Structure 1
Amino acid sequence: MRALVVRGGWEGHEPVKATDMFLPFLERSGFAVRVEESPAIYASAADMAAVDLVVQCMTMSTIEKEEVAGLRAAVAAGTGFTGWHGGIADSYRASSDYLQLVGGQFATHPSKEPGRCRGDASDNFLKYRVSLTELGRSHPITAGLDDFELETEQYWVLHDDLIDVLATTTHPVAPWHPWHRPITSPAIWTREWGRGRIVVTTPGHSLDVLENGNVRTVIERGMLWATRTASGS
């Protein structure tokens, strides 16, 4: 099996250290791993045809038209595609074709009460619950896990109905925010695209979150579930 790790973009998510955490797991699982620092490889049909799994950690950044077309074609042909947090759900904001492939896009991460904000990243660190759906309780990626709590960025996600939601998180009403009822966002989802499988895990802002046992389990199981051999492509 061959895994392609594509990393870069906004350095706040520490793409090198974050992906390095999972390289030993991929190798133990039987993958030969190739690491690229840009999405340029997506434009190579020959390279992508040999890839069973793409693990992407590329927050924001840009992608060329032929690169996103190559990624879409590879997934449709059976290559798995997965990632976490902004590395997959906040990538290539200007590409609607990428957004359609993934099925969900980061919109915001609500902040604490203004009086508790200090002007740094922790302003957006909230205690919140990740709640498994009925599907999530039986799905191979999340089976056996319980609902769990985190204190980190809580992603508000815009999404479509082609995703299969394994877990959700709810943004409560607060007097310092303008919305008037709780908003439930997908926190973990899968998506089938042609013969390929996609897995998105929205927790993962920092290395300590990736080290959380529940988060790491979901990401690692998601890699195995998405890969071409598992999907039977």
Structure 2
Amino acid sequence: MTTTTRKALVVRGGWDGHQPVAATERFLPFLRERGFDVRVEEATAVYADAGALAETDLIVQSVTMSEISREELEGLRAAVAAGTGFTGWHGGIADSFRASSDYLQLVGGQFATHPAVGPGIERAEGEEYYRDHRVEFTDLGRRHPITEGLEDFTLRTEQYWVLFDELNDVLATTTHPSEPAQPWHRAHTSPAVWTREWGAGRIVVTTPGHSLDVLDHPSVRTIIERGMLWAARTA
């Protein structure tokens, strides 16, 4: 009997503040335990390799900001449309390649800001943008295989304000309140976890994940790991 091993490609790099190496290393054992042959790349050049992507069932990306060439982006979009799954967390997927509108269309959401806490609230150096906030599951999220059985939870970390479109299937949200110190006039609810179908491919974006301790939060880690399995090529 011939056993077919699924292939996962981990692409990491960009801004070091999100610790792309340490963050992705956390999930490599999970992928291998689930039968994936894992390839790790430290740059996006692999996206221009059509042959490699055609054999890839899942791409896990952790590349904050940075730039992507036209050939690389076209390769990534084509691979996802053909059935390769695409997933990631926080700035590694939702704040990648800011200058590329075609990338933003692919993932369906873009980091806009993470509001600072209001005056009079002290935060340690490096945590000025850490806010206590809730991640709340939608009706769809309560029955979706990625998030089914999980309860709403609270984090103290960056709370992503996301610009998004309506092709996303939103599994969880987080709400930015209207506060006297802020210029907006009513609360804004951003997707915190969403899926997206693109051609034959599946995309999963999880916005929590600024630091390693957030990735170790049981609910965040469960969402990311289940998201990898759900996104991976299904045929």
Q: State the TM-score bracket (shorter-chain normalisation).
A: over 0.9
In 2, the alpha carbon distance for the partners of 1:41 and 1:160 equals: 28
Q: Give deviations 1:67-110, integer Å, cap 9, x for gaps.
A: 01000000000000000000000000000110000000000001
Aligned AA (1:87): G
In 2, the alpha carbon distance for the partners of 1:121 and 1:76 equals: 39
Measured after TM superposition, the shift of residue 117 of structure 1 is 5.3
In terms of fraction of residues, the more helix-rich structure is 1
Measured after TM superposition, the shift of residue 113 of structure 1 is 1.3
Q: Give deviations 1:132-183, integer Å, cap 9, x for gaps.
A: 0000000000000011110100000000010000000000011111000000
Of the three residues 142, 145, 148, the one matched with 1:140 is 145
Of the three residues 107, 120, 124, the one matched with 2:125 is 120
In 2, the alpha carbon distance for the partners of 1:130 and 1:227 equals: 25
In 2, the alpha carbon distance for the partners of 1:119 and 1:137 equals: 35
Change beyond 3 A, Cα 1:105–1:204: same
How is 1:177-196 mapped onto 2 (pairs within 5 angstroms)?
Answer: 177-196=182-201
In 1, the alpha carbon distance for the partners of 2:119 and 2:95 equals: 25
% of aligned pairs identical? 70
Question: Who is 2:168 aligned against?
Answer: 163
In 2, the alpha carbon distance for the partners of 1:224 and 1:116 equals: 40
Number of aligned positions between the proteins: 230
In 2, the alpha carbon distance for the partners of 1:127 and 1:177 equals: 16
Aligned AA (1:220): E
> Alignment partner of 1:82: what SS?
strand
> Alignment partner of 2:148: what SS?
coil
In 2, the alpha carbon distance for the partners of 1:185 and 1:120 equals: 26
CA RMSD of aligned residues (A): 1.0
Measured after TM superposition, the shift of residue 119 of structure 1 is 8.1
In 2, the alpha carbon distance for the partners of 1:53 and 1:163 equals: 19
In 1, the alpha carbon distance for the partners of 2:180 and 2:105 equals: 33
Unpaired runs of 5+ in structure 2? 1-5
